[in-house]
Amino acid sequence: MKKYQKFDMKGANVTNKEKERLAKHLLERGYVVVKRVTNHRNSSVSFDDYLQSIPELKSPLTKECDKGIGGFGALNYASAFHHPHRIESDLDILDTVKPILEELARLVGLEWFQQIPDRSIYRTQSQSGTSWHTDNTSGAKENDIFFGAHFNLNKKSANWSGVQTFTCAPGHHSIHPRLKGGEYTPSDKDKIRDFKQVATRVSINPGEIMLHFENIPHLAGSKVSAENPVKKKIGAFRLSNHSSEWMPENRERLEHQAPLIYKGGEDPPMFAKMHLVNWPSKLSDYANLLIDDCVEDYKYQTGKNAGMTFTFPKRRSPSLASIGKKYKYNPVLEALNRTMYRVKRISDV
């Protein structure tokens, strides 16, 4: 694996020279890792608070019900998008990477900026092996540039570093979006060989943020255990020459505290459709952990379970308003939350 460079921005008032150095590294290499420069409350503590009080669960989160269904570990509950930790951690990410994106926008001649919502991750098992792939935002337009952000919320302990890793192929990103969106796995053997030759395992320490072109080729993360789970907030940003807003539907969803549309172009499902075919027992077990408003009866029409009815999680998490569990914010957070994901001129962010 290749070595990588890490930066310390030394506070939010970064110099123009430092901004240029960071932006050029991001533009040329496809990623940059920096220390968080602000701390709205304590993002890792706030996330732990949320994990112990998820309103869609009957009881606090345990290792037996810690990630829902699937190994990625994304928390797709409506509450995960609206607990104060989401606002606070997204603000931490924004305050840290804004100077870099501001300078990169100047370098490439783009003037519009938008922060894009994404999920929080609580992962207690290693992901299965994946091929080299890129992530591509649904609904991208010509001249849009989308970035991913990876904020490590782990806590270092005496027996564990809390480090998270991201294996990528620096320099193989593109400033042009893949307009079809969706995950893309290259099949060209020559490309994969090139990726392997420059493969770099980037370490993100607790409290650090990795900003990267979303379409930089990468692999799944490092090994994980239930004793030392991955806790992170993922986010995204868009630079553009378009003043139109990506997914304006999220404005209404913020009001009702419904799951937000993320880069995949939809509100995230609570489980994959294949679970209905292959693992109905897992869905039933998971439904037993959820409050009544979050489950429903499902009757099979075909297959070996034809005619049978099971209680499963609702595939889309209901809004917190619809189940009477909306969060109440202080006035500052309320104002920030209303405008956080709207498109703005980069100079006005």
Whether residues 93 and 115 fall in one domain: yes
Whether residues 241 and 265 fall in one domain: yes
What pLDDT sits at residue 68? Answer: 61
Residue 4 in any domain: the answer is no
CA angle (7 as vertex; 5, 8 as ends), nearest 5: 155
CATH code of the domain containing 135: 2.60.120
Q: Are 133 and 201 in contact (CB under 8 A)?
A: no
Q: Residue 117: how many CA atoms within 13 Å on its side-chain side? A: 34
Residue 7 in any domain: the answer is no
- The residue range of the domain holding 310 is 272-315
Whether residues 177 and 284 fall in one domain: no
Whether residues 155 and 43 fall in one domain: yes
The ranges of the chain with pLDDT < 70 are: 1-13, 40-45, 62-71, 127-130, 221-223, 225-226
What pLDDT sits at residue 11? Answer: 45
Q: Write out the two tokens for 11.
A: 């506070």
Q: Are 116 and 86 in contact (CB under 8 A)?
A: no
Whether residues 36 and 114 fall in one domain: yes
Which residue from 319, 286, 288, 256 is spatially nearest to 77, judged by alpha carbons?
319
Whether residues 231 and 303 fall in one domain: no
Whether residues 188 and 277 fall in one domain: no
Residue 178 in any domain: the answer is yes
Q: Return the H-helix or E-strand segment holding 16.
A: helix 16-29
Residue 323 in any domain: the answer is no
Q: What is the DSSP string of 63-126?
A: TTSSS-SSSS-B--SGGGGTSHHHHHHHHHHHHHHHHHHHHHHHHHT--EEEEE---EEEE-SP
Whether residues 214 and 93 fall in one domain: yes
What pLDDT sits at residue 211? Answer: 97
Instruction: Read off the pTM.
Output: 0.90
What pLDDT sits at residue 10? Answer: 46
Whether residues 117 and 254 fall in one domain: yes
Which residue from 147, 213, 141 is spatially nearest to 178, judged by alpha carbons?
141
Residue 154 in any domain: the answer is yes
Residue 172 in any domain: the answer is yes
Residue 130 in any domain: the answer is yes
What pLDDT sits at residue 15? Answer: 84
Residue 239 in any domain: the answer is yes
Number of separate domains in the chain: 2
Whether residues 137 and 172 fall in one domain: yes
| Neighbouring residues of 334: CB distance < 8 A, sequence distance ≥ 6 | none
Q: Write out the two tokens for 129.
A: 């092996």
Whether residues 142 and 249 fall in one domain: yes
Whether residues 255 and 297 fall in one domain: no
| Neighbouring residues of 236: CB distance < 8 A, sequence distance ≥ 6 | 115, 116, 117, 118, 137, 146, 147, 148, 149, 214, 262, 263
Q: What residue type is assigned to position 86 of the chain?
A: R
What pLDDT sits at residue 13? Answer: 58
What pLDDT sits at residue 299? Answer: 97
Name the DSSP class of 213: E
